[in-house]
Amino acid sequence: MQVFGTTKDGKEVQAIKLQAGDLTVTLLTYGARLQDVRLAGVAHSLTIGSDDLADYEGAMLYHGALVGPIANRIGNARIRLDGMMYELERNEDGQRHLHSGAEGLHAQVWDVIAVTENTATLTLDLPDGMAGLPGKRRITARFALSAPDTLTMTITGTSDTATVMNFANHAYWNLDGAATWHGHRMKIAADHYLPIDAATCPTGDVTDVTGTDMDFRDGPVMGPQTPALDHNFCLSEGIEPQRDVLWLTGQSGVNMVMATNLPGMQVFDGRPGHGALALEAQHWPDAPNHAHFPQIKIAAGETYEQVTSWRFVRS
């Protein structure tokens, strides 16, 4: 570990470099963040990062970070839980709740529990009421590299009272190191997606991708013709054993396969510049406001667990 920088409020941030096989990954304790991902034989990082902490406190707020305790949007910035209504920060256009607001995991300095050559375990305690939600919560994030080319992230969470949890890693990926992701192929194992309204919140419909421009099952080449993307693709209707769900292939011959146990994959196209793709394995967004979506309530004493991995191959 080495010191990466100091936050605006004076907290020291560490950088942790992990290595196994052909893969080298640098994490930051600020936001439990993927800052750099390197594959042997490739001259550029596969994720978009910065060497300046100020960027992560500014325009790159979510880049590489673990977002939550509620990832994505809550359309009316409030949730009902066990008969109580919780008002959340309206940090998007003064209307919606996005990535848990200013007190989200992305803006916290995590504690380091253990580090080896190829693993790092970070933890964060959220007091009752933080990010607008009930429960004294403990979140643990373990990152592990396995040779030759796989990064696995395991997130667990517990609470002393009922609460909600939906975490996601918000790394932006460009496998070519190019100005845009145009020319990449993206395949998603999803037969349905969630249409969105003008505020990019789910309408509540669950729509078959067949015959639509949201059908990525055959791995089309992406470019200017690709529809605007800030959508959840429905992988399943609940937690499942970890399985491959998304394949991204660059023109450079670098391939990435994402696997997860979660039911959703949010794809954001990084507009307006189309510089990189945010691929966020998570629960379906705005679930507390749509009873027919897989729900994100965690009972007192229950353990939330998600596992997401990224496998890289250079052809």
Which among 189, 271, 185 has a CA at the least distance from the CA of 228?
271
> Using CA atoms, how far apart are residues 143 and 152, in angstroms rounded to an integer?
6
Residue 173: Cβ within 10 Å count: 24
Q: 160 pLDDT exceeds 90?
A: yes
Q: 307 pLDDT exceeds 90?
A: yes
pLDDT in tens, 31-58: 999 999 999 999 999 999 999 999 999 9
- Secondary structure (3-state) at 107: helix
Q: What number is the average pLDDT over the span 16-45? A: 98
- Supply the pLDDT for residue 52: 98
Q: What number is the average pLDDT over the span 125-149? A: 98
Residues near 310 by beta carbon (within 8 Å), at least 6 away in sequence: 37, 150, 151, 152, 256, 257, 258
Domain boundaries, the chain: 2-314
- Supply the pLDDT for residue 50: 98
- Supply the pLDDT for residue 106: 98
Residue 251: Cβ within 10 Å count: 14
Q: What number is the average pLDDT over the span 138-155? A: 98
CATH 4.10.780.10 assigned to domain 2-314? The reply is no
pLDDT in tens, 177-215: 999 999 999 999 999 999 999 999 999 999 999 999 999
Residue with tokens 């500014």: 58
The confidence band for 116, taking pLDDT boundaries of 50, 70 and 90, is very high
Q: Which amino acid belongs to residue 240? A: E
Q: How many residues does the chain have?
A: 315
Q: What number is the average pLDDT over the span 111-140? A: 98
Contact at 8 Å (CB) between 6 and 15? no
- Supply the pLDDT for residue 88: 98
Q: Where are the beta strands (DSSP E) in 192-253?
A: 192-193, 207-208, 230-234, 243-249
pLDDT in tens, 240-271: 999 999 999 999 999 999 999 999 999 999 99
- pLDDT above 70 coverage of the chain, percent: 100
- Supply the pLDDT for residue 315: 84
